[in-house]
């Protein structure tokens, strides 16, 4: 069964550094999402992406964040200058066009020191 | 605004006994509701979803959930817990767009 994959599984970075989290969606899925879960808190929506543009973003998704599909397959989340409070588990999810069911990757644990 | 509330952060059951994980929703219209499970180091896996076709929804691994409009509930049940059911369970709904709104999660512990 096709799966969403994410790399790396764990990323440790210094505050102020840029990080790129990568997701490989299920083939032929049309909608892409990033969510995050800070330890001990709810999973929160960050951004949705469709037809090569952001369709919705949350208040969390400020100018430090960006998303893109650079090669038509990978879906990336970039944080330009990481802060301590960006430490969290980041989940990618993808969705085919005919259903509202999302398929999640295993997550990337980001630790900002 | 749409939201879900998971009433228990932790639930412990003995193996072979029933499981009940509670979820209440708040929605101004007929919602889409989901239960996902997350095992350690794994992605969230869809257990079942409600989309108004039937109030009793059967999912994978013997789980089911009943949509009760009068109680605004969508509780997850399983007749007999198995050790492999130990995981974190999330109740979700969608907003007017497709984004998911998560509950806080319920960690299920299954005792031998």
Q: Is B35 touching A (CB cutoff 8 A)?
A: no
Q: Is the pLDDT of residue A82 over 80?
A: yes
**Ranges of each domain in chain A:** 5-112
Domain A5-112, classified CATH 2.60.40.10, yes or no: yes
- In this complex, the residue of B43, B51, B105 whose CB is nearest that of residue A4 is B43
- In this complex, the residue of A9, A42, A48 whose CB is nearest that of residue B98 is A48
Name chain A contacts of B49, Cβ cutoff 8 Å: 101
Q: Which residues of chain B have pLDDT under 70?
A: 96
Contact A91 B46 (CB under 8 A): no
Query: Residue A90 — pLDDT band, cuts 50, 70, 90?
Result: very high
Name chain A contacts of B46, Cβ cutoff 8 Å: 101, 103
Q: What is the mean pLDDT of residues A43-66?
A: 94
Q: What is the mean pLDDT of residues A45-71?
A: 93
Residue B81 maps to which CATH number?
2.60.40.10
Smallest CA–CA distance, residue B74 to chain A, in Å, is: 17
C-alpha span between A9 and A90 (Å, rounded)? 10
Q: What is the mean pLDDT of residues A7-31?
A: 95
Q: What is the per-residue pLDDT for B1?
A: 73
- In this complex, the residue of A9, A35, A48 whose CB is nearest that of residue B97 is A48
Q: What is the per-residue pLDDT for A33?
A: 96
Smallest CA–CA distance, residue A18 to chain B, in Å, is: 24
Cis before A8? omega within 30: yes
Q: Is B50 touching A (CB cutoff 8 A)?
A: no
Q: What is the per-residue pLDDT for A13?
A: 97
Smallest CA–CA distance, residue A100 to chain B, in Å, is: 6
- Count of domains for chain B: 1
Answer whether A55's CB lies under 8 Å from A49's CB: yes
* Structural domain boundaries enclosing B107: 3-111
Q: What is the per-residue pLDDT for A70?
A: 81
Q: What is the per-residue pLDDT for B20?
A: 98
% of chain A beyond a pLDDT of 90: 81
Q: Choose, out of A9, A95, A104, the residue to mutate when testing the contact with B (most B CBs < 10 Å).
A: A104
How many C-beta atoms lie closer than 10 Å to residue A70's C-beta?
10
Smallest CA–CA distance, residue A14 to chain B, in Å, is: 24
Where would I find the beta strands (DSSP E) of chain B?
Answer: 3-6, 10-14, 19-21, 23-26, 33-38, 44-50, 56-58, 64-68, 73-78, 87-94, 100-102, 106-111
Contact A43 B97 (CB under 8 A): no
Query: Residue A41 — pLDDT band, cuts 50, 70, 90?
Result: confident
């Amino acid at each position: 069964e096709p799966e969403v994959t994410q790399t790396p599984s764990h990323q440790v970075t210094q505050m102020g550094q840029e990080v790129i989290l990568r997701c490989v969606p299920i083939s032929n899925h049309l909608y892409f999402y990033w969510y995050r879960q800070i330890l001990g808190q709810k999973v929160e929506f960050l951004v949705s992406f469709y037809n090569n543009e952001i369709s919705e973003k949350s208040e969390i998704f400020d100018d430090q964040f960006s998303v893109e599909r650079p090669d038509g397959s990978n879906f990336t989340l970039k944080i330009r200058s990481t802060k301590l409070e960006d430490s969290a588990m980041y989940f990618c999810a993808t969705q085919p066009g005919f259903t509202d069911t999302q398929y999640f990757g295993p997550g990337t644990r980001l630790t900002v020191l | 605004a749409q939201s879900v509330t998971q009433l228990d952060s932790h639930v412990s059951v003995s193996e072979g006994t029933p499981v009940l994980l509670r979820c209440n929703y708040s929605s101004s219209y007929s919602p889409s509701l989901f239960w996902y499970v997350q095992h350690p180091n794994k992605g969230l896996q869809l257990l079942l979803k409600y989309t108004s076709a039937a109030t009793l929804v059967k999912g994978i691994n013997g789980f089911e959930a009943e949509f009760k409009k009068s109680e605004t509930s969508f509780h997850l049940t399983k007749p007999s817990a198995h050790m492999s059911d130990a995981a974190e369970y999330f109740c979700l709904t969608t907003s007017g767009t497709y984004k998911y709104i998560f509950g806080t999660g319920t960690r299920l512990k299954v005792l031998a």
